[in-house]
């Protein structure tokens, strides 16, 4: 057992876990943050994507101990109260989700994509960048639309800040 100290969605937490505990297990089983999902166990599907120190990581593929001292943001931590993150709003407005299972990971990856590319996103880039996130419902059509829409909204939001 080890104590892992980290910040999750802005809150400092210390959790005693078995050394083999994965970050996703710490989030889901110990902190009850069940918005982060497990879809494949092999780092392919991206349902488990969270942000660690601002970068997208697959939480099923790293040990909780590797996140010691890090700041983790999950799907539960990106809205400001009742105000959705622009990426969340864009997924809803563009019907970028159906069953919702891949959605948290999609949204967390998509935010990272927009951050890394700034305003320089087009359909081909979004499709290429989504390689690590699998959706079985939407055929990606509306996810791609949502990410492009959100990129515009995030630019506007950034400009306003």
**Coil, strand or helix: which one is 77?**
helix
Exposure of 84 in the CB half-sphere (CA atoms within 13 A)? 12
CA distance 69 to 60: 18
Residue 41 as a binder of another protein (CB under 8 A): the answer is yes
Min CB(5)–another protein separation in Å: 22
Residue 133 as a binder of another protein (CB under 8 A): the answer is yes
Binding mask 58-97 for another protein (x = CB under 8 A): ----------------xxx--x----x---x--xxx-x-x
Strand order in the sheet with 55-58: 11-17, 2-8, 71-73, 49-52, 55-58
**Coil, strand or helix: which one is 94?**
coil
Residue 120 as a binder of another protein (CB under 8 A): the answer is no
Position among 5, 55, 116, 141 found at the interface with another protein (CB under 8 A): 141
Min CB(88)–another protein separation in Å: 4
Pair of tokens at residue 97: 């989700």
Position among 39, 62, 65, 151 found at the interface with another protein (CB under 8 A): 39
Handedness of CA 102, 96, 122, 136 (dihedral sign): positive
Please say whether the beta carbons of 51 and 7 come within 8 A.
Answer: no
Of 55 and 141, CB closest to another protein: 141
Residues found near another protein in the complex (CB under 8 A): 18, 20, 28, 32-42, 44-45, 47, 74-76, 79, 84, 88, 91-93, 95, 97-104, 107, 123, 126-128, 130-131, 133-144
């Amino acid at each position: 057992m080890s104590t892992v100290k980290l910040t999750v969605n802005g809150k400092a937490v210390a959790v005693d876990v078995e050394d083999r505990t994965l970050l996703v297990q710490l989030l889901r089983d110990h902190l009850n943050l069940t918005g982060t999902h497990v879809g494949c166990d092999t780092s392919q599907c991206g349902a488990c994507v969270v942000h660690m120190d601002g970068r997208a990581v697959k939480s099923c593929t790293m040990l909780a101990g590797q996140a010691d001292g890090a700041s983790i943001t999950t799907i539960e931590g990106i809205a400001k109260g009742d105000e959705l993150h622009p990426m969340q709003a864009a997924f809803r407005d563009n019907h970028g989700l159906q069953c919702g299972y891949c959605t948290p990971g999609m949204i967390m990856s998509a935010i990272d994509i927009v951050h890394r590319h700034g305003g320089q996103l087009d359909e081909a880039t979004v499709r290429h960048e989504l390689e690590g996130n699998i959706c079985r419902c939407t055929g990606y059509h509306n996810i791609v639309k949502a990410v492009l829409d959100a990129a515009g909204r995030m630019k506007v939001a950034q400009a306003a800040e």
